[in-house]
């Protein structure tokens, strides 16, 4: 059985990869590929945001997701993605709690806020290409 510290690092890796895949899927697969950027911009405008905000949001989710999966500056990427998920939380806040509510509830965006904060606190875990802080300096 591996030491507990190794298992913890693999647990953090699992969190990092799952969060990264979710952001990539939401940014690239949903907004860019499925809906398209014009459709995403129209959706943002329908919510009261400037339509152009769809472009940096999609880029942040897509690039941030890839960086999380690869373990590149994980703490900073997780923190940088907080405005995206806080915006989603705000958008869904009036729709009720469950995400299956009409127009989606706020439970899943809140969960993503918590996961981003936890990832920033925990760091990159095992297999990171470029940890936020050198090993041994900060945990």
Tokens at 49, concatenated: 């945001």
Average pLDDT, the chain: 93
Our CA angle for 102, 103, 108, nearest 5°, is 105
Cβ 64 vs Cβ 57: under 8 Å: no
pLDDT in tens, 116-139: 999 999 999 999 999 987 556 554
Whose tokens are 């996961």? That residue is: 115
CA distances from 131 to 1, 53, 67, 72, 126 (A): 25, 29, 11, 6, 10
Q: What is the pTM of this model?
A: 0.91
pLDDT in tens, 26-37: 999 999 999 999
- pLDDT score of 108 more than 90: yes
pLDDT in tens, 2-16: 677 789 999 999 999
Q: Who's near 99: CB < 8 A, 6+ residues apart? A: 92, 105, 106, 107, 108
């Amino acid at each position: 059985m591996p030491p507990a510290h190794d298992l913890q690092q693999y647990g953090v890796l699992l969190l990092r990869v799952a969060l990264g895949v979710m952001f990539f899927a939401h940014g690239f697969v949903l907004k860019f590929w499925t809906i398209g950027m014009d459709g995403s911009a129209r959706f943002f405008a329908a919510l009261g945001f400037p339509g152009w905000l769809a472009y940096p949001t999609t880029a942040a989710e897509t690039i941030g997701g890839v960086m999380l999966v690869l373990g590149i500056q994980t703490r900073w990427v997780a923190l940088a993605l907080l405005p995206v998920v806080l915006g989603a939380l705000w958008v869904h806040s009036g729709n009720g709690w469950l995400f299956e509510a009409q127009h989606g509830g706020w439970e899943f965006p809140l969960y993503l806020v918590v996961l981003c904060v936890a990832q920033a606190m925990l760091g990159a875990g095992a297999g990171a290409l470029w940890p936020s802080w050198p090993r041994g300096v900060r945990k």
